[in-house]
Chains A and B, each alone.
Chain A
Amino acid sequence: MKALQQEFLRMLSSYQGIIHKVNLVYFKTAADREDNFQEVVFQLWKSYSSLKNREKIASWIYAVAINTSISKLRKRDTLVLMDTMPESMHRVEEPQVERDMNIRQLLEAMQRINEIDRSILLLYMEDYSYKEIAEIIGISSVNVGVRINRAKKELKRYLIEE
């Protein structure tokens, strides 16, 4: 058990960025993101010992993190619209504010689109191929392309509105 725990910890240390990025697109506050991080770790730990394909760990983590986040959101009836900046934004130094305005706008716009499209867009921005995205989400590559197209049009519309 101890060896498995150490192995899991090493894996988590290497790939925790994935969970943080999923949390960024799904949750507004630092408290919600921390809470969801713990829940995702719980789900990962539960299924780690039965994980067969250790080469596709990143895809596995994305699937668990996205499913856990959607489950949490749908239970809580969280508002999709983001009224305030994510709390971590307040730590940004003054000279960087203008450059960082784009990521803030992007996250705000992403919060307004459908949860599935949000996850597809995240994977797309993380440079996953249509085929890899299709495997994680469980839809066809054709559908992935259509949804990315649609999501980008929606994002553009929301960004122009701001």
Chain B
Amino acid sequence: MESFELKDIWHTQVGNLICNYSDPELNRIVIKQARKSMRRLYLGRPALVVALLVIGYLIWKIAMGEEGIMMTLFRSFLVLLLLVLLSLEACSAHKMRRYQADMPVKDWLTYRIAEVEKSLRFMKKHDIWLYPGALLLGLAVGVVYDWLLNTSFNLMTSLLILSCLILYMFFVRWTIHRNYSRVLMRLKELAATMGEGEEPIEEQVVIG
């Protein structure tokens, strides 16, 4: 295919396929994406304030020590859970801020491959803690459920909840791991095609 044919087809006909957005439409898109960037890249102030207020209230109630040991343990568990969730949210926002797409394609591929490999290594190293976490959560749900309904502790109920949780976590972990591995494989395939060529270069045809 001659260079001038290719460029001629492109220049004369591509305009028929492109429908530019009007200024109001572009404005709507920009505002929507600016709001999305605030939500994804920074912790939402209202949510942060509410979370800190709840944590403060729970700590104050624990310090008062007015109710029994079970209630104190339950409140402590809630404080820990909220702190963990806030930390995860902050980490996620930080990661989103760090991600940049404004670099040459080859550099971007190298950066993405490194990030995905890092995530896979982290998951392999730390995912095992999900199972004891599920065990504790299953028991906690069973205990709280029985306490709320004022019935005796039912081991079978807890074991049932625990089994379902473990199966679900195993499935989620396996799916995430498989998707990450697949993305990594494809990025590496693409990066492998970017090696240096050996054929002599064609002279660039300059069109008038």
A158 to chain B, nearest CB (A): 10
Q: Which residue of B lies closest to A62 (CB)?
A: B105
Q: Which residue of B lies closest to A24 (CB)?
A: B17
Docked-complex contact A89 and B17, CB < 8 angstroms: yes
**B-contact 0/1 string along A64-88, CB 8 Å cutoff:** 1011101100110100000000101
CA distance A75 to B17 in the complex (A): 26
Which residues of A from 91 to 128 have beta carbons under 8 Å from B?
92, 96, 99-100, 102-103, 106, 114-117, 119, 124-127
Secondary structure class of chain B's binding surface, majority of residues: helix
**A-contact 0/1 string along B40-54, CB 8 Å cutoff:** 010000000000000
Interface size on B, residues (CB 8 A): 54
Segment at the interface with A among B62-70, B82-90, B119-127, B186-194:
B186-194
B139 to chain A, nearest CB (A): 37
The interface residues of chain B lying within 8 Å CB-to-CB of A117 are 193
Docked-complex contact A103 and B1, CB < 8 angstroms: no
Docked-complex contact A102 and B193, CB < 8 angstroms: no
The interface residues of chain B lying within 8 Å CB-to-CB of A38 are 29, 32-33
Q: Which among A17, A119, A145 is the interface contact of B105 at CB below 8 angstroms? A: A119
The interface residues of chain A lying within 8 Å CB-to-CB of B186 are 74, 77
B156 close to chain A: CB less than 8 A:
no
Docked-complex contact B105 and A116, CB < 8 angstroms: yes
Docked-complex contact B112 and A145, CB < 8 angstroms: no
CA distance A138 to B108 in the complex (A): 9
CA distance A13 to B24 in the complex (A): 10
B13 close to chain A: CB less than 8 A:
yes
Q: Which among A5, A70, A137, A149 is the interface contact of B30 at CB below 8 angstroms? A: A5
B16 close to chain A: CB less than 8 A:
yes
**How many A-B residue pairs lie within 8 Å, measured between CB atoms?**
167
Docked-complex contact B1 and A68, CB < 8 angstroms: no
A142 close to chain B: CB less than 8 A:
yes
Category for how many chain A residues contact B = 35 or more
The interface residues of chain B lying within 8 Å CB-to-CB of A46 are 37, 41, 97, 100
B190 to chain A, nearest CB (A): 6
B183 close to chain A: CB less than 8 A:
yes
Docked-complex contact A137 and B32, CB < 8 angstroms: no
B200 to chain A, nearest CB (A): 8
Docked-complex contact A142 and B16, CB < 8 angstroms: no
**A-contact 0/1 string along B140-175, CB 8 Å cutoff:** 000000000000000000000000000000000000
Docked-complex contact A136 and B105, CB < 8 angstroms: yes
Q: Which among B13, B20, B204 is the interface contact of A17 at CB below 8 angstroms? A: B20
B106 to chain A, nearest CB (A): 3
CA distance A5 to B38 in the complex (A): 13
CA distance A89 to B13 in the complex (A): 11
B132 close to chain A: CB less than 8 A:
no
A135 close to chain B: CB less than 8 A:
yes
Docked-complex contact B26 and A70, CB < 8 angstroms: no
Docked-complex contact A139 and B106, CB < 8 angstroms: yes
**A-contact 0/1 string along B71-105, CB 8 Å cutoff:** 00000000000000000000000000100111111
Known: A38-B29, A88-B18. 20 other contacts (CB 8 A): A13-B23, A13-B26, A16-B21, A21-B14, A38-B33, A41-B33, A42-B33, A43-B100, A67-B105, A88-B19, A106-B6, A129-B204, A130-B204, A136-B104, A136-B105, A138-B107, A140-B196, A149-B201, A152-B3, A156-B1
The 10 A-B pairs at the shortest CB distance, nearest first, are namely: A146-B197, A138-B104, A138-B106, A145-B201, A103-B13, A125-B10, A67-B101, A42-B33, A47-B102, A156-B1
